[in-house]
Structure 1
Amino acid sequence: MLQVWALEGIPEVVAGDDLVALIAQSAGDTLADGDIVVVTSKIVSKAEGRSVDADDREDAITRETVRVVATREHPGGRTRIVQNRLGMVSAAAGVDASNTPEGTILLLPVDPDASARALAAGLREALGVHVGVIVTDTLGRAWREGQTDAAIGAGGVHVFEDLRGGTDAEGRPLVVTMPCAADEIASAADLVKGKAARLPVAVVRGRADLVGDLDLPGARTIVRPLERDMFRLGTLEAYADGFAAGAASSAQKD
């Protein structure tokens, strides 16, 4: 049986705070071996001092961007879908203005996998329980409205559940089935954390099979390599590139 609940009593996090101590104090003796602690990236960024002035938002997005996927102008301004330095494709490179002190914005953690591993190691030592940690952020999805939480960092957790080589309920072989368990855990935790309830940490119990060594591959491995990404550009951008390539080819033939 899967159980999911939010930890209460975690105060507003500021730069330099010890997240291990704050989470351990909130959890008390409620954590058990095999639990997965799911932490909103905002408090990781706050503790790591990843706050900048809100006036620098557009510049911050540019600095965090390594590749522009799509840009759209609209009555409310401009939306940029980009690949950030962590390899993730998202709106505004993950630069966030929600649930931040007035006049500030937050950048994503420098290395979410390293942050997750440090939290997992710290909680294991402080509480004496074999737990994993997933760090999450809110992302949109191609082809679908709305947002959901996804894993951007993982420590001591198998991010994939590899079912390839097994069989389905009808006995047919599974060839490509590899659920992203870390994203599923992140989404489940978001149901109890909410977006405005000031509950930035949740616990998922019932998937101890996903908890393992601290040196397991992190959430960075979830990002699909560019050479296998069939949708690496927005529609208009892909059309413009194709049109330009066609025009250049025609010019060479002339």
Structure 2
Amino acid sequence: MTTPTSGALVLFSGGQDSTTCVAWALQRYERVETIGFDYGQRHAIEMTVRPAVLAQIRAQSADWARKLGEDHVIDLSLIGKISDTALTSNVEIAMLENGLPNTFVPGRNLLFMMVAATLAYRRGLDVLVGGMCETDFSGYPDCRDDTMKALQVTLNLGMATRLKVETPLMWIDKADSWALAESLGGSALVDLIRTGTHTCYLGERGALHDWGYGCGTCPACALRANGYAQYRQRKISGVTNDA
């Protein structure tokens, strides 16, 4: 249901989850803007595909084209300068002694949300939308629901606002994320996500798999590929899950 009095700012990386979140927001809010962050990420190709993905989203629906407003790109290269991870340097992806993969960038989502809240304040937007998920993820603590709820409280206390943080993918798996995209934009949106977005941690876009571009072996590709296979199997079996 559209909420005409609300405007949303979507954290949009150019990947599968955030593209689904853009469509989700466009179905609910009369005004939607997007924000992306250049933080020295190894898979910087995601920043390259963003404009084309947004253009294709606009082309899918006149209503979406009307609602989808300005895109903002923020330089957060300081993250790459102060972190030592597999997403910000050319090192092999591995598990650390603390049980987290070295693709975890400490503080990244916290800083993303804080900067997005600052921009939303200036732009008169009262909803932040992020693709965080703790059902089917790599274990990042800044993707958890408790983190997002605590952050919402902190942002509102610190800015004297009533900003709402929405995470529509929090409790669904990757198969249901594909199904959610289909429910929002049909096969056209699913095809856009498959062929237009970028999720691979290594920035590989040489081969187009049935689930999209990627190396096929990094954790992000594995999650996406497994989710797509389950999504296709559920469709064949006639099984649907409410997202």
Shared fold, TM over 0.5? no
Name the structure with the higher helix share.
2
Name the structure with the higher strand share.
1
The two structures have a TM-score, normalised by structure 2, of: 0.30
The two structures have a TM-score, normalised by structure 1, of: 0.29
Structure number, greater radius of gyration? 1
